[in-house]
Amino acid sequence: MEHSTLPLQLDNYLNTLKQQFNESPDLVQKVFHIKGQEVVIHFISYQIKKDRLERELLESLTKSDKPWSVHDLQNKIPLASSQTVSSMDQIAEHIIHGNVVVYLPGEKEAVAFLLPQQQTRALDRAETESLVFGPQLAFTESLVTNLNVIRWRLDTDDLVVEKLIVGDRIKSEVRVVYLKSLANEENVDTMRQRISDLKVSEVEDTSVLGQLIEDSSSSIFPQLINTELPDRFCNSISKGRIGVLVDKSPTALIGPMTLFSFFESTEDLYMRWNMGTFIRLLRFIAMALSIILTPMYVAALTYHYEIIPTSLLVSLGQSRAMVPFPPVLEALLLEMLIELLREAGARLPTKVGQTMGIVGGIVLGQAAVKAGFTSNILIIIIALSALASFTAPSYLMGTAIRIIRFPMIILAGAWGLIGITFALSFILIHLLKQKSLGRPYLAPIYPFQWKDINDSLIRLPFQKNDTRPLNVMPEDTSRYDQLKAAEKKDVDPS
Amino acid sequence: MKRKRIILIVLLVLICSGCIPKSYIEQLGIITAVGYDMAGEKSIRGTMVMYQFDPSTTSASQVVTSEAATSKGLRFEANRMTSHRLVSGQVRLELFQDQLAAKGMTRYMDTLERDAKVSDMGLLGVSEVPTADLLKINNSKESSNSGESIKKMIEKSVDNDVLPDATIRTFMHDYRDAGIDPTLPMLSSKEDTVMISGLALFKDDRYTAKISPQETFYLLLLKEEYKDGQFQLQLPDEALKEFHKDTPGPSEEGPLHVSLHEIDSGLNIQPKQGDPTEQDVKVTMEARLLEITKDVDLKNKKAIHKLEEEIEKKVKSDLEQFMNVLKENQVDPVGFGKAYNAKNRENRVTNENWRQQIPNLNVSFDVNLKLLRHGTVE
């Protein structure tokens, strides 16, 4: 633009600004004549709070008894956030972000007052990561609200919130959150470096940022956790991990993570230790079942009839005799059906979705067996493995497990047990190679770390759980003294 | 580079998968039990119980019979009689007619053992009647597969300490080990039901003699330790005369039978240093007296003590008698030679020299019984 810098005369200024906003009808430009002085005010009508504009800005602006200067504007108007801006680009940017810009024609600088009005939803219950027991609060799309919640949960001045801007064309505000005395410097540097090195035109969401800064974006497994739960976020921060918030996104990123942390839920901590350990082990078993069950069925029925227990042989054989497809096709068909149901359930409006679940689950399943389309044992297996894949507390990990099944089934159909072994070895090697923010992904199994087994694979009572996860390399590993944590004092009623 | 590797893997999957023969379960005739009979001088007759799945038929179980010179040939011949391909991967029971077993089992066992598809944990048995008759008996209509029910019968008996282990693995192990001979359950049929009639003793791989269930108990007593066995004994009629109750009951007359339950036995075979034919065997038993056919005053400690002594005496004499049976047949199913080998480095027993030494075996028994409970409320 030609006249992009101040000072400008009134007409010139108004025109330039209009062009800058592509003649937008929403841009309000108002010229006041106060004590013979022209004062220009502009804002976008729906970006600011109008009542505050009138009460706090216009009132004091018009009541002045002497001409305004830039200095006076900043000091005499009772608004806390005022800033001077000197270029047209800056003025435009401030207007977009909900500022009211006041310009005195001919001056070198304009003054921007922040009076933003953001349409955000209120804090709500968690939907995708719902807890039965424990805090129900979930993040919202507003960064300010989210930071507010985090500050409230972690009220210590140790909490560091760094601001970074990502996006060349559409800028997004990103906050890196960590505890200064705990978080490993190297981890923080890595996270900060990766975010600030990003050269992208825009970042749509936290999960997009996560995929962009992950160690291996092509892997099936997510390496950073996406969570909508502030309690999970804060819990991770207090263990020395690093969190990332992106404006306009209702989830937060946490890293570095291990494979096992995707199967942890904060609920395990709120439950008593025995139940916590039980649920955690249940999830691991469920994951293993979910991956292996259907391929095993395919392999056994295609190649290895020897391994079928004799007592199961008759019922398996008789239900299979009706089915016209080979087991691979049968399994793939049914897996697709389940995925179809899941996807339809997710896309359909809530009320219709429930009906669809019943229609798909019961009617289709029953009819498929009756029509000799699939064997009823496979229906049980598929339903079980689908159910098992939903037990992962992280939605992204659940989807990863569901995806892995398909190549496994195909391999089982092509090579039998050898194919399954091949696939499992492949997955294991892949997992061993993975890193999260440069930290090993398969910790504490590899590299083996005895102290980390507690609170990753199992959960012991809190007295025993006296260290922070070592694979995160926190600056301070000790949480508390084991003996002191267990100490109890009874006050005798006298 | 990476893409090339992925393409290679995908190609391998596609190409190599063609090499593996698929065996869809619904297209197979899955043999679960096989019986071998003598058919002539050179050929054998095989009876195969198999599952064959057809949507139209309700019963999946079928029996086919064929004749051939070898055991694998049997399957080949039988294949011409079935709509499904016969496979042997689920064979869990192999029965041999006694005449066939007397000619030596190794040539059949050898192929069984080498066939990786046949489980080593499959069961073996010898039959007094042609196995074809046994396997065609459909005694219980619910479990239509007679092979399956015979297998369960043997399995149950092994679990309940009535029969020694009858798996292929144990048989081959005992056959190859020096100083021990294998045994197998002996089956027979009676009024259209299959029953276990005793135990078949083997000399090397040849069936030589059959012992009764009573004698099987003594073999087991010498072979392994009972955890939860049970046994009936007949004692001399007047053994406990002095402890009979004063009021004569209805069971005063007739022989004295004793039923022992929950037998927990211990075994200690002590061969003499350097001489495998001299062995000391110490048997300790703890049992619960469940039944006694005479009205004996069991509250009397002395009566119990006397009863224990009588049983010990009887068990000892029976064991000695049982040893005579073994010596007559020149077989050693207990494994005295093996026990000797385990403790001695010199003058070792081998498959060759042990057979001649068996008749010279001199075993002295020391039986010790303790009756733990006798069900009398005091």
Task: Encode pLDDT of B256-290 as tens digits.
Answer: 888 888 888 888 888 888 888 889 999 998 888 88
Q: Which residue of B has its CA nearest to A326?
A: B24
Contact A372 B17 (CB under 8 A): no
B25, A303: Cβ pair inside 8 Å? Answer: no
Instruction: Please name every residue paired with B362 in a beta bridge, in sequence order, or none if there are none.
Output: B278
Residue A59, pLDDT above cutoff 80:
yes
Residue A1 — very low, low, confident or very high, per pLDDT cuts 50/70/90? very low
Containing structural domain, residue A340 = 280-440
Q: Indicate which of A296, A297, A305 best probes the interface with B, i.e. most B CBs within 10 Å of its own CB.
A: A305
The predicted-structure confidence for A318-377, as pLDDT tens digits, reads as follows: 888 888 889 999 999 999 988 888 888 888 887 777 777 777 777 887 888 888 888 888
Structure tokens of A400?
A: 């990863």
Min distance B99 CA to chain A CA atoms (Å): 30
- Of A233, A234, A247, A187, the C-alpha closest to A213 is A187
Query: pLDDT grade, residue A5 (50/70/90)?
Result: confident
For residues A472 and A462, the answer to whether their CB atoms sit within 8 Å is: no
Cα dihedral across residues A441, A445, A447, A451: positive or negative:
positive
- b/e string for B192-201 if b means 16 or more Cβ within 10 A? eebebbbbbb
B89 and A305 within 8 Å at the Cβ level: the answer is: yes
Burial class (CB in 10 A: 0-12, 13-18, 19+), A371: exposed
pTM: 0.83
Domain check: are A45 and A176 in the same one?
A: no
Instruction: Identify the band that residue B136 occupies on the pLDDT scale cut at 50, 70 and 90.
Output: confident
Q: Which of B13, B23, B55 sits opposite A414 (nearest CB)?
A: B13
Q: How far is CA B301 from the centre of its chain?
A: 39
Q: Is A426 on the interface with B (CB under 8 A)?
A: no
Q: Are residues A376 and A413 in the same domain?
A: yes
pLDDT per residue as tens digits for the range B160-185 = 888 999 999 999 999 998 889 999 99
Distance from CA of A322 to the nearest CA of B (A): 6
Higher pLDDT, A296 or A467: A296
Q: Tell whether A425 is covered by a domain.
A: yes
Please indicate whether, in this complex, the C-beta atoms of B25 and A308 are within 8 angstroms of each other. Answer: yes
pLDDT value for A262? 93
- Closest chain B CA to residue A327: B24
Asked if residue A368 is part of any domain, the answer here is yes
Say yes or no: A55 and A192 in one domain.
no
Domain borders along chain B are 23-211, 217-373
User: Does residue A430 belong to the interface with chain B, where contact is any CB pair within 8 Å?
Assistant: no
A430/A291 same-domain check: yes
Alpha-carbon span B270 to B281, nearest angstrom: 6
Helix pair angle (A395-415, A273-302), 10° resolution: 30
Confidence of residue A2 (pLDDT cuts 50, 70, 90): very low
CA distance linking residue B210 with residue B183, whole number of Å = 10
Tell me whether residues A306 and B16 touch, CB distance under 8 A. no
Alpha-helical regions (H) of A173-229: 185-196, 206-213
Nearest CA to B151 out of B169, B134, B172 is that of B134
Q: What is the DSSP letter of A305?
A: G
**B20, A321: Cβ pair inside 8 Å?**
no
Residues in A closer than 8 angstroms to B14, CB to CB, are: 414
Main-chain phi, psi angles of A411, to 5 degrees: -65, -40
Matching residue, tokens 């209009």: A18
Under 8 Å CB pairs connecting chains A and B tally to: 68
Q: Is the domain of A158 the same as that of A82? A: no
B16, B53, B89: residue with CB nearest A317: B53
Residues in chain A: 494
Statement to judge: residues A213 and A164 lie in one domain? yes
Is the complex ipTM more than 0.85?
no
The DSSP symbol for A456 reads T
Give the burial class of B166: count Cβ atoms within 10 A of its Cβ; 0-12 exposed, 13-18 middle, 19 or more buried: buried
Residue A347, C-beta contacts closer than 8 angstroms, at least 6 positions apart: none
Q: Are residues A289 and A405 in the same domain?
A: yes
The answer to whether residues A134 and A153 touch, using CB atoms and an 8 Å cutoff, is: no
Average of per-residue pLDDT values in chain B: 85
Q: Are residues A53 and A144 in the same domain?
A: no
Nearest CA in chain B to A414: B17
Q: Name the residue type at position A274.
A: N
Neighbours of B12 (CB within 10 A): 12
The residue of chain A nearest to residue B116, with distances taken between CA atoms, is A306
Q: Are residues A330 and A381 in the same domain?
A: yes
pLDDT of residue A78: 80
Q: What percent of chain B has pLDDT over 90?
A: 27
Q: Which fold has domain B217-373?
A: GMP Synthetase; Chain A, domain 3 (3.30.300)
Residues A248 and A302 in one domain: no
Give which of B351, B262, B365 is closest to B319, Cα–Cα. B365
Q: Write down the residue that tokens 């009951």 correspond to.
A: B249
Judge if A421 and A287 occupy the same domain. yes
Contact B60 A318 (CB under 8 A): yes
Q: Is the minimum CB–CB distance between B7 and chain A shorter than 8 Å?
A: no
Residues on chain B touching A308 (C-beta within 8 angstroms): 25, 90
Total structural domains within chain A:
3
Give domain status of residue A47, yes or no: yes
Of A204, A216, A212, nearest in space to A246 by CA: A204
Residues A91 and A164 in one domain: no
Q: Output the DSSP codes for A33-87.
A: EETTEEEEEEEETTTB-HHHIIIIIIHHHHT-SS---HHHHHHHS--S-EEEE-B
Q: Specify whether the CB–CB gap between A258 and A432 falls below 8 A.
A: no
B5 touches chain A (CB under 8 A): no
| B117 contact A CB<8A | yes
Please give the DSSP secondary-structure letter assigned to residue B293: S
Closest Cα in chain B, distance from residue A454 (Å): 38
Give pLDDT tens digits for A193-250.
999 999 999 999 999 999 999 999 889 999 999 999 999 999 999 999 999 999 989 9
The alpha-carbon gap from A314 to the nearest alpha carbon of chain B, in Å, equals 7
CA A297, CA B25: separation in Å to the nearest integer? 11
